[in-house]
Every structure is written in structure tokens, then in C-alpha cells.
């Protein structure tokens, strides 16, 4: 027998069923122990393990749920009638109320998660093995059970120490608050009231955990045999109390944070910032918290806001105070005679409607991706980008029609070239950048790929900056036009809107400059042979480039650079093993362009990110998450500083090394005394997760 | 490592053999034993047969001088729904006492060569993100990390998907008409062997 393969196999003399007696009286300490153990399994389930290996290993819960009770009254630790003397005592009744509420919590959790996009097993296991988790029973029934249990506990006839009594009551209180917070029908306006009471109650559970006494016999793997499943029994998942407690706390904090979504400015760009910041919270939010936020995002009250979200987005970015989006356009009726041309303004309205409808799916896909775990987010983004590439083609067709109409109307100079295409393109480029940055965040790239990938990032953000500059120029023109027309409030609006564009330009400039500086820094390190470079007998640089560019190969624009062009950039001095002599000359000369370009790019990146900071969170459309936003910008600024130090470190050591450098570069001999430490993900050694800055140490 | 004293010191004394379906009775029990000891996921006999019946020639074994099986690699090669002819390294294991001698590398190289000879476009596998030795082994050969797979394994661990392109143009391949969903007819790698590539061989500290 192989215990791993043949799980569930009975050992000699082992019984098929458990002999644990659920009706036997239990001690208050044991009630605490069982409740806390259940909490551990509940949180293990939240992290992604199936119920069969967690909560459903509890004999008590099994008895409540099977055989399936028709009513809550029937859901007892026994079925049928019991003689008066054998009825469960007060403590068992209290435990039952707790378990009932716990099961209902699971029901709410499953409903919330399955109501949104999630991935079975990867994120969460929704399987209930034919057990019905009181789906039809309303919340107040469980609240009543819990209230009755608290009353029983407060009964002075019940003899037990006050600390034990308090500990049990605090667990019942917690369960009541938690259940209420998980309720699917919480009104949007009061959401934020639900989580703080739970959080304030948690400490008392944590500090009284040591009062509990475990009851190992009340949990068993054997129950799995009776659960409808195709997999053999698997071991119980043990999550330690302190870890489970941390998870629970995190869940409450994350959900409380998510409730802030309802008080954001009704602006899709604010929503986007909020989603991004939430997705990158550390530790990464549990599936329930992500679903909780996604449910708010996709809530009819949010999604069906008076103004369409994509439309607001388009207006903010490319069509400020534009006739194309004038509400009046939607008040025209088509002529009775279908052979007559439609009024131009109606044509505009129809074209915009057509485009906004076309945008709906890619727009939702993007937001759905932002609600996933970050591994999934990176992979989904590559598909979303493909969708937006298609959208860009369609946008250009609508743009041509729009241009025709505004030209007819004699308003061509009020509109920038191809506004919708520009809008899509700008967003698509941003997504590509995000994809690459997530690759760095997740340690997808190996150190000898850093140079090439940061170069690619720099290229893409450079493109985005050019696009944004065209937008910015239009904002200037538009403001001037409005001033001339004496439409001063509108002109002021456009000028305000230009601040957002300015923020985006600075950010794109910063990304592009810092990317360029890092690309050239890591390239130098490769030539100096201080970065690990695997031999890779089965691969070639061209094949690896193709693999890295795969998600972007079909895009047009931006076209992936031809391999030869890319190679010229990442191997400016020829092969790393045998660089041209000019490398030695450049690297040893502290004033060479090699070093001065690096310094200039770092300086420029610093200035750009400082400008972002100065323009502020509100103009960055991050007003709802300004603390996190400021932390992120500061993190990138710190990365710039760290890179400056690293560059200076390498430069001075190379200068000091004299002849050593020649040996190092030409023969790969360790003579430079340069060591490199790459800060890995999750080690808290990066100032910004997407910006990997190596630390130079003594080699 | 003290264990290595018990093993033959001369790596030349090892024998590398291609799996042979006619000898299933002698080969398979030893393979199962070696792999089930090392991999975290439970594999049924059907998982082994799924691979070995169809791609026995992509399975290589290493024997020590006393004819004990000490290492094995199990693979498959078939058209993938992306349109590529895709190789997949499903299992790799080397007995603990024999680790650190390049046996796993040698086995993987033999498998790659065999798949190359059969015109594979690419080879993929998954390995746990914490299995640094395994990552090193494959990355030395040219594999790249293409994806991070959250909670990929039944034990809750996260994996990297590793990919090695063998031919230019692989990234741009697309499914041809009759190939649509071709990968679904069979048990896909994910269902056949979720734990593939968990190479505990390399898990021992260097």
C-alpha cells in the first residue's frame, strides 16, 4: 500500500466510521478549542483549500448537515427524537448556534465569489459535496440562534469562570458581526459600518485562544469518504491559529478598504486606480475580498451611472468640451423621410453611441482582469491588449466618420486627429507597460534579461509619451479656442483637464527614462560579466526574444522592434563574451557618453516622477487612493536614487580597477571586485516592485 | 553529502536507457516507486500509462552499476491548441543519494534531443517557484519563465511555467482549422499530471 496513492485505505482493525460522540457533554474550554479550530479551517478554506479538507472534517458540522435537514430546527447534532435526559446541554446548544452561523457564512462567501469572475481551485474551491449550506434560510434565523446562545451564556445559573464565559461570548459576537458583514443584501450606503465592529472584536478572540482545549477527535478525514467527490481522501489542511487569525484580520481590513470604493468620485479613472492599488496590496487580498470589491464595481448603481463610464473616460482624455460629446446631440430626431440626410449632430451622437457600445466588452474585460490575482492579471492583460488592438482598428473607422461630419460642420479645428484611436492606443500602450512591469514584479525575467526588457518598456512608454504630447497640444489649442469664443468656464475646465494629461506625460517620461537607465546599467553589467548568464545550449537569443515578445507580436501599432534593432540596443558593443574595444574605453572613462547618458536618464526620471508628485494625486486620478499613490511614487523615486548609487558604485570600481577590467571583460576573470545583489520579489528589498535595482557590493 | 559515499563515484558507471514498452513489467514498478517517493502529487497507474503508452520513446532512465533505477524523465509531444507541436516534460526524478551529479540534466538533455529530432516547436513544463535547483537546471539549458501560476499544485504551491522555443516562428503559430481544440481530445498536461516537473531531485540543498 502507498499511503499517498491509496489514501482512505483501512489499516488492520481500523473502523470505517468515527466513534466520536457528538452528544457527549463538553467543557467550556473545549467549546473555545473547537470554535477556534473551526476558524482555522474556515480561513484555510478561504485561502483556496476545499471544504472536504477543512471545515467538512468537523464531526459536528457533518451531523448538522447530513442527513440533509429540511428545516433549521432539524439541523441538530442528532436526528429525530431524543429522550429528555440525552438532549444536548447548554454548551452544545451554543456550539450548534455557532456552527449554524458558520455554515451560513460559507454559503454567503460562495455566493459572493461565484457571482464574479474567479478560477475554481486556483483561487477558491466552491464545491460543497452535495451538502446544502442553508441557502434558503434567511439571515435573521441565524442571528436569532446566535442571540439565544449569547443569552444562554449570560445566564448566571450556568457555572463557569467569567473569563471562559467572556471568551465564548466574544466568539459568538464575532460570528454574528461577521455573518452580517458577509450578507449579500447589505445596502451600499451602509457597507462601511459592517467591518469595524469585527475588527475591534478580534483582539479578544486572539488573546483568549490559550484558554481553549483542543478536541482532536471531533475532526476526522473519514468524513471525506461520504462526500460526493471523485478524488480520494486527502489530508486535513492544518493552518495554525495565529496564521488563520492573520488571514481573518487581513480579510476584514481588505473588505473595509474595499467599501471605500462606494465613496469614490464617479470617475472610471479613479475606479481604475482604486482597483490597481487594491490588487497590489500586500499581502495579496484573499479571493473573497477581491470578489467583494468586484461586486461593488459591477453593482448596478455604479455601472449604470448617469454617464457611461467609457464615455467619461474618452471625454477626460481626448474630447474636452467637445461638440462631439455635447449632450444636445442626443436630442435630435432622425428626419421622417429616411432618404433625407440625418442632422450632423445626430450623426455624431449615433457614431459615439456605436463606438461606446463597441468599447463595452474590452472595457469590462480590462476591469475584470484588474480584479484577479496578480499572476492571473498579468496573463489576462496580454489577452485584453489583443482585444484593445481590435478595438483600435474599429475606432479608426468611427474616427474617419467623425472627421467627415465635423468637417462638414466646419468644426474640424475643434477636434484633434483621430481622437478615439488615440484614446484606445494610449490605454493599450499603458497596458503593455503594466504587463512588463508585472513581469518584473513576479520575477518572470532572469537578471540577464533585465536590460532587454527594461529597454522594451522604455520604448513603449516613450511611444505613449509622444501620443500624450499630441493630446496635450490639443488641450492647449482647445482652451485657447474657448477663450477666444469667450467661453471662459469651459476654457478653465479644459485647463484643469490638462493637468491630468500633464501628470500622465510626466509619468510616461519617468518610466521611459528610468527604463532606459536600467537597460543600459544592466547591459554594462553583462559586459562586465558580473550578472549570471546561463549557458543555454538549447536556445538562442533570437528565440528567447521571440518568446518574450509573443504577447505583443500581433499588435499594430506598436510593432515589436525587429530582432536586429533590438539586439543593436541591448548589445551595443557586440557579443557580451567579446565586446569591441570601445567598450573598455567607454566604461573606463567616467565622462563617456555611456555613463553620462545613464546619469542623464536617471536625473530625468527623478525630475519626471517629482513632477508627478507635484501635480498631485487628484490630477493623477488617484484621489481616492492618495496615500498608496504617494507611497508608490516615492518608491519609484527611491529606485531612481538607488540606481544612481549603483551606477556610481560600478563606475568608480571600474575606474579603480586599472588592468583588472581588461581581464574581466576579455577573459571573464574575477578581478573587478564587483558583486551584484538582485533584490527578489517579496523580500521587501525593492523600493518599487516593478523596478528591480541591483545593489552593488564587494565581490 | 554523506549519502553519495554509498553510490558509485564514477558517473561513467551509469547507464542511460530509453524506455521500452515491451519491458513494462520490469521498468514501470521501479519508475513508479522512484517518482512517487519524490513528487508531492499522487499519480495513479493511469497517469504513468497515459504517458508511457503514447510516448515511451520520450522516457529515459538512468541505472547505476548495480542496475538499480536512479533517475527518470517522462515526457509527451503532441500538437497543442495554440498551433505548436509542443513537448512537455511531465516528470523528472533522481534518487536522493545520486543528486548533484548532473544525472537529471543528462536525462533532460536526452529528452530535449529526442523531441527536437521529432520536430518539436517548443518544450514546456511547470515547476514550483521555490524549487530553485530545478529552476536552475532548466534555465541553464535555455528554458525561460513564461508565467507564474498561482496555487497551481494541489498542495497550494505556486508554479512557474517554463518554456523553451526550439524553432523560429513558434510564437506566431496559430491553430489551423482541423487543429482547433486538438489539445482537448486527450487528457491535457494539467489534468494528466498536475505535479509534473516538481523535481524534488533538485530540491535538496546544494
pLDDT of residue A140 exceeding 60, the answer is yes
Collapsed DSSP state (helix, strand, coil) of residue A336: coil
Contact (CB, 8 A) for B59 and B17 = no
Residue A542 near chain B (CB below 8 Å): yes
Residue in B102, B114, B133, B144 to test binding to A, most A beta-carbons within 10 Å? B144
Report the Cα–Cα distance between both ends of chain A, in Å, rounded. Answer: 53
Report which of residues B203 and A471 the model is more confident about: A471
State the architecture of B15-123 in CATH terms: 3-Layer(aba) Sandwich (3.40)
Residue B37 near chain A (CB below 8 Å): no
Burial of A567 (0-12, 13-18, 19+ CB in 10 A): middle
pLDDT of residue A573 exceeding 90, the answer is yes
What are the sequence ranges of the domains in chain A? 28-264, 287-665
User: In this structure, what C-alpha cell is assigned to residue A220?
Assistant: 476526522
Q: What confidence tens digit (pLDDT) does each residue in A249-278 have?
A: 999 999 999 999 999 999 999 999 999 999
Going residue by residue through chain B, which has 206 residues, state the pLDDT in tens, using 9 for 90 and above.
333 444 444 555 899 999 999 999 999 999 999 998 877 677 888 999 999 999 999 999 999 999 999 999 999 999 999 999 999 999 999 999 999 999 999 999 999 999 999 999 999 999 999 999 999 999 999 999 999 999 998 888 999 999 999 999 999 998 875 544 433 333 333 333 433 333 333 333 32
Angle between helices A241-259 and A287-297 (to 10 degrees): 10
The minimum CA-CA distance between B158 and chain A, rounded to whole Å, is 9
* Residue among B36, B148, B170 minimizing CB distance to A2: B36
Q: Which residues of chain A neighbour B121 with C-beta distances below 8 Å?
A: none
Q: Where are the beta strands (DSSP E) in A179-253?
A: none
pLDDT value of position B12 = 58
pLDDT of residue A125 exceeding 80, the answer is yes
Percentage of residues in chain A having pLDDT higher than 90: 85
Distance of CA A645 to the CA centre of its chain: 31
- The whole-number average pLDDT for the span A369-381 is 96
Residue B118 near chain A (CB below 8 Å): no
Q: Establish whether this prediction's ipTM goes over 0.90.
A: yes
Q: What confidence tens digit (pLDDT) does each residue in B53-92 have?
A: 999 999 999 999 999 999 999 999 999 999 999 999 999 9
Name the one residue in this structure whose C-alpha cell is 482493525: A13
* Residue among A7, A375, A550 minimizing CB distance to B150: A375
pLDDT of residue A331 exceeding 70, the answer is yes
Q: What confidence tens digit (pLDDT) does each residue in A216-242 have?
A: 999 998 899 888 777 778 889 999 999
Residue A607: left if φ>0, alpha if ψ -120 to 50, beta else—which one?
alpha
Question: Scanning every residue of chain B, which has its alpha carbon at the shortest distance from the alpha carbon of A449?
Answer: B144
- Integer Cα distance of B173 and B179 in angstroms: 12
Q: What confidence tens digit (pLDDT) does each residue in A492-507 have?
A: 999 999 999 999 999 9
Q: Which residues of chain B neighbour A534 with C-beta distances below 8 Å?
A: 139-142
Cross-chain residue pair B166–A543, CB shorter than 8 Å: yes
Cross-chain residue pair A444–B163, CB shorter than 8 Å: no
Angle between helices A488-527 and A626-657 (to 10 degrees): 30
What b-and-e string marks burial along A78-103, b requiring 16 or more CB atoms within 10 Å of the CB?
eeeeeeeeeebebbbbbbbbbbbbbb
Report the Cα–Cα distance between both ends of chain B, in Å, rounded. Answer: 9
Q: Which residues of chain A neighbour B152 with C-beta distances below 8 Å?
A: 122
Report which of residues A430 and B10 the model is more confident about: A430
Cross-chain residue pair A543–B165, CB shorter than 8 Å: yes
Q: Which residues of chain B neighbour A446 with C-beta distances below 8 Å?
A: 139, 144-145
- Integer Cα distance of B28 and A318 in angstroms: 66
The minimum CA-CA distance between B21 and chain A, rounded to whole Å, is 23
What are the sequence ranges of the domains in chain B? 15-123
Q: Which residues pair with B162 in a beta bridge?
A: B125, B145
Amino acid at each position: 500500500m502507498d499511503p499517498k496513492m491509496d489514501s482512505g485505505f483501512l489499516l488492520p482493525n481500523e473502523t470505517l466510521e468515527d466513534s466520536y460522540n457528538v452528544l457527549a457533554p463538553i467543557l467550556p474550554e473545549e467549546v473555545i478549542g473547537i470554535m477556534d479550530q473551526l476558524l482555522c479551517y474556515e480561513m484555510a478554506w478561504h485561502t483556496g483549500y476545499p471544504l472536504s479538507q477543512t471545515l467538512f472534517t468537523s464531526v459536528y458540522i457533518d451531523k448538522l448537515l447530513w442527513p440533509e435537514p429540511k428545516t433549521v430546527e432539524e439541523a441538530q447534532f442528532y436526528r429525530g427524537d431524543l429522550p429528555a435526559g440525552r438532549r444536548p446541554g447548554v454548551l452544545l446548544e451554543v456550539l450548534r448556534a455557532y456552527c449554524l452561523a458558520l455554515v451560513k457564512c460559507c454559503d454567503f462567501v460562495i455566493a459572493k465569489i461565484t457571482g464574479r469572475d474567479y478560477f475554481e481551485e486556483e483561487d477558491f474551491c466552491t464545491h460543497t459535496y452535495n451538502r446544502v449550506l442553508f441557502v434558503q434560510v434567511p439571515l435573521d434565523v441565524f442571528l436569532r440562534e446566535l442571540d439565544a446562545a449569547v443569552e444562554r451564556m449570560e445566564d448566571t445559573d450556568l457555572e463557569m469562570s467569567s473569563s471562559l464565559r467572556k471568551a465564548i461570548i466574544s466568539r459568538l459576537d464575532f460570528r454574528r458581526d461577521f455573518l452580517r458583514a458577509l450578507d449579500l443584501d447589505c445596502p451600499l450606503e451602509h457597507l462601511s459600518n459592517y467591518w469595524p465592529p469585527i475588527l475591534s472584536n478580534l483582539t479578544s478572540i486572539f488573546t483568549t485562544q490559550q484558554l481553549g482545549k483542543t478536541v482532536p477527535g471531533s475532526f476526522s478525514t473519514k468524513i471525506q469518504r461520504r462526500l460526493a467527490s471523485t478524488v480520494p481522501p486527502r489530508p486535513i489542511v492544518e493552518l495554525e491559529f495565529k496564521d488563520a487569525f492573520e488571514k481573518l484580520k487581513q480579510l476584514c481590513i481588505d473588505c473595509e478598504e474595499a467599501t471605500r470604493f462606494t465613496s469614490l468620485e464617479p470617475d472610471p479613472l479613479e475606479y481604475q486606480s482604486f482597483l490597481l492599488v487594491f490588487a497590489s496590496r500586500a499581502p495579496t487580498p484573499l479571493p473573497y475580498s477581491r470578489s467583494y470589491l468586484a461586486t461593488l464595481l459591477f453593482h448596478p448603481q455604479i455601472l449604470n451611472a448617469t454617464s457611461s463610464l467609457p464615455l467619461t473616460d474618452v471625454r477626460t482624455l481626448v474630447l474636452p468640451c467637445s461638440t462631439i460629446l455635447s449632450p444636445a446631440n442626443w436630442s435630435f430626431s432622425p428626419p421622417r423621410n429616411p432618404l433625407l440626410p440625418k442632422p450632423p449632430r445626430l450623426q455624431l451622437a449615433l457614431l459615439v453611441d456605436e463606438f461606446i457600445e463597441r468599447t463595452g466588452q474590452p472595457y469590462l474585460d480590462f476591469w475584470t482582469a484588474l480584479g484577479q490575482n496578480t499572476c492571473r492579471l498579468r496573463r489576462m492583460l496580454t489577452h485584453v491588449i489583443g482585444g484593445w488592438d481590435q478595438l483600435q482598428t474599429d475606432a479608426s473607422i468611427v474616427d474617419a466618420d467623425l472627421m467627415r461630419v465635423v468637417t462638414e460642420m466646419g468644426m474640424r479645428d475643434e477636434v484633434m486627429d483621430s481622437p478615439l484611436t488615440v484614446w484606445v492606443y494610449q490605454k493599450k500602450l499603458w497596458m503593455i507597460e503594466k504587463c512588463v512591469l508585472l513581469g518584473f514584479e513576479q520575477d518572470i525575467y532572469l537578471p540577464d534579461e533585465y536590460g532587454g526588457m527594461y529597454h522594451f518598456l522604455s520604448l513603449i512608454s516613450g511611444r505613449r509619451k509622444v501620443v500624450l504630447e499630441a493630446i496635450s497640444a490639443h488641450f492647449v489649442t482647445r482652451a485657447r479656442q474657448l477663450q477666444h469664443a469667450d467661453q471662459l468656464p469651459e476654457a478653465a475646465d479644459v485647463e484643469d483637464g490638462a493637468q491630468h494629461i500633464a501628470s500622465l506625460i510626466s509619468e510616461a517620461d519617468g518610466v521611459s527614462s528610468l527604463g532606459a537607465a536600467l537597460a543600459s546599467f544592466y547591459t554594462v553589467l553583462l559586459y562586465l560579466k558580473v550578472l549570471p548568464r546561463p549557458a543555454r545550449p538549447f536556445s538562442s537569443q533570437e528565440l528567447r526574444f521571440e518568446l518574450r515578445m509573443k504577447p505583443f507580436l500581433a499588435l499594430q501599432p506598436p510593432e515589436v522592434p525587429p530582432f536586429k534593432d533590438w539586439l543593436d540596443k541591448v548589445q551595443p558593443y557586440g557579443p557580451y563574451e567579446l565586446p569591441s574595444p570601445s567598450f573598455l574605453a567607454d566604461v573606463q572613462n567616467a565622462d563617456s557618453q555611456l555613463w553620462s547618458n545613464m546619469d542623464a536618464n536617471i536625473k530625468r526620471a527623478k525630475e519626471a516622477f517629482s513632477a508627478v508628485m507635484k501635480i498631485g494625486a487628484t490630477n493623477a486620478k488617484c484621489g481616492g487612493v492618495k496615500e498608496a499613490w504617494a507611497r508608490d511614487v516615492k518608491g519609484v523615486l527611491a529606485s531612481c536614487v538607488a540606481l544612481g548609487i549603483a551606477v556610481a558604485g560600478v563606475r568608480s570600481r571600474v575606474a579603480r580597477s586599472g588592468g583588472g577590467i581588461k581581464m574581466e571583460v576579455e577573459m571573464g576573470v574575477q578581478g573587478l571586485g564587483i558583486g551584484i545583489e538582485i533584490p527578489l520579489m517579496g523580500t521587501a528589498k525593492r523600493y518599487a516592485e516593478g523596478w528591480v535595482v541591483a545593489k552593488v557590493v564587494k565581490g | 553529502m554523506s549519502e553519495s559515499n554509498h553510490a558509485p563515484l564514477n558517473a561513467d558507471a551509469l547507464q542511460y536507457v530509453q524506455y521500452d514498452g515491451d519491458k513494462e513489467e520490469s521498468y514501470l514498478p521501479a519508475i513508479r516507486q522512484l517518482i512517487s517517493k519524490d513528487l508531492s502529487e499522487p499519480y495513479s497507474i493511469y497517469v504513468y500509462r497515459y504517458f508511457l503508452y503514447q510516448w515511451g520513446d520520450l522516457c529515459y532512465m538512468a541505472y547505476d552499476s548495480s542496475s538499480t533505477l536512479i533517475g527518470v524523465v517522462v515526457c509527451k509531444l503532441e500538437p497543442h491548441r495554440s498551433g505548436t507541436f509542443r513537448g512537455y516534460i511531465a516528470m523528472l526524478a533522481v534518487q536522493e543519494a545520486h543528486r548533484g551529479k548532473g544525472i537529471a540534466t543528462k536525462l533532460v538533455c536526452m529528452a530535449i534531443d529526442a523531441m527536437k529530432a521529432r520536430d518539436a516547436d517548443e518544450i514546456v513544463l511547470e515547476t514550483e517557484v521555490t524549487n530553485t535547483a530545478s529552476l536552475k537546471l532548466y534555465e541553464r539549458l535555455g528554458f525561460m519563465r513564461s508565467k507564474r501560476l498561482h496555487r497551481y499544485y494541489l498542495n497550494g504551491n505556486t508554479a512557474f511555467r517554463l518554456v523553451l522555443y526550439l524553432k523560429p516562428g513558434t510564437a506566431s503559430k496559430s491553430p489551423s482549422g482541423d487543429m482547433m481544440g486538438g489539445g482537448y481530445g486527450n487528457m491535457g498536461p494539467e489534468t494528466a499530471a498536475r505535479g509534473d516537473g516538481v523535481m524534488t531531485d533538485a530540491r535538496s540543498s546544494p
